[in-house]
Chains A and B, each alone.
Chain A
Amino acid sequence: KNEVEQSPQNLTAQEGEFITINCSYSVGISALHWLQQHPGGGIVSLFMLSSGKKKHGRLIATINIQEKHSSLHITASHPRDSAVYICAPRGTGNQFYFGTGTSLTVIP
């Protein structure tokens, strides 16, 4: 049983396209983390949110706690956005959950 489902698993986009990555979860959470992992391993924290919407540059994250769903949007995508994006909800009892990741490739 997978508590966190991400879609799509793989995504290829042309430079400049608007991209959406979805995350659905089945557990009660206190907050949700969106992470970015480039080839080579390093993980960068993009957003931590518990309600509504957050924006940072070309990235936007939204969460709907009632529907147990979060989305990560990338506007005007660029080849440097190519990475794996991981959704990581934090359970109300401090449990740690991770989605399987979405591998994004942006083609020039």
Chain B
Amino acid sequence: DTEVTQTPKHLVMGMTNKKSLKCEQHMGHRAMYWYKQKAKKPPELMFVYSYEKLSINESVPSRFSPECPNSSLLNLHLHALQPEDSALYLCASSQGLAGTYYNEQFFGPGTRLTVL
């Protein structure tokens, strides 16, 4: 299984809602990533988990809360979002963080989020 899956594919939420995005991989990868991508822009790194511990937080607002319950799963909990948070949220995984070939990232299809 060489796939990263993400659910849901699309999500529309109001500014007062609480929702979660889910990402799953069964490749035995120990590093998982959340990215945010606005239209016609490259992905922006949000969070990196390595061995289920938060390794990098790129100064993301607290209304985004990541969680890594086990080595195969990565969640992104959303609360009190703003319309400007509407974007494509991409999850990725890699074997690890260190070393050249461990770095290759495999991406999921993304969740397209619209905040009303």
Q: Bound pair: A and B?
A: yes
- Min Cβ gap A21→B in Å is 14
- Asked if B103 is at the interface of the complex by the 8 Å CB criterion, the answer is yes
In chain A, positions 75-108 with a C-beta closer than 8 Å to chain B are 86, 88, 90, 94, 96, 98-101
- Min Cβ gap A61→B in Å is 13
Residue of B nearest to A51 (CB): B100
- Asked if B77 is at the interface of the complex by the 8 Å CB criterion, the answer is no
How far is B112's CA from A50's CA once the two chains are assembled, in angstroms?
A: 32
Whether B101 pairs with A48 at a CB distance below 8 angstroms is: yes
Query: Contacting A48 at CB < 8 Å: which of B43, B90, B100, B110?
Result: B100
Whether A30 pairs with B90 at a CB distance below 8 angstroms is: no
How far is B76's CA from A91's CA once the two chains are assembled, in angstroms?
A: 25
Whether B100 pairs with A41 at a CB distance below 8 angstroms is: no
Whether B42 pairs with A43 at a CB distance below 8 angstroms is: no
Interface of chain A, helix or strand or loop or mixed? strand
List B contacts of A35 (CB < 8 A).
107
- Asked if A44 is at the interface of the complex by the 8 Å CB criterion, the answer is yes
Q: How many residues of A contact B (CB 8 A)?
A: 20
Whether B107 pairs with A44 at a CB distance below 8 angstroms is: yes
- Min Cβ gap A101→B in Å is 6
- Asked if A66 is at the interface of the complex by the 8 Å CB criterion, the answer is no
Whether B42 pairs with A101 at a CB distance below 8 angstroms is: yes
List A contacts of B106 (CB < 8 A).
45
Whether B43 pairs with A43 at a CB distance below 8 angstroms is: yes
List A contacts of B41 (CB < 8 A).
100
Per-residue 0/1 for B77-116: is the Cβ within 8 Å of any A Cβ (1 yes, 0 no)?
0000000000010101000011011011111111010000
How far is B87's CA from A41's CA once the two chains are assembled, in angstroms?
A: 11
Q: List 7 A-B contacts (CB under 8 A).
A: A41-B37, A41-B112, A48-B100, A86-B43, A90-B103, A98-B42, A101-B42
Q: Which residues of A contact B (CB under 8 A)?
A: 30-31, 33, 35, 41-45, 48, 50, 86, 88, 90, 94, 96, 98-101
Query: Which 8 residue pairs of A and B lie closest in terms of their CB atoms, listed nearest first?
Result: A98-B42, A43-B107, A48-B104, A41-B110, A42-B109, A31-B100, A96-B45, A50-B100
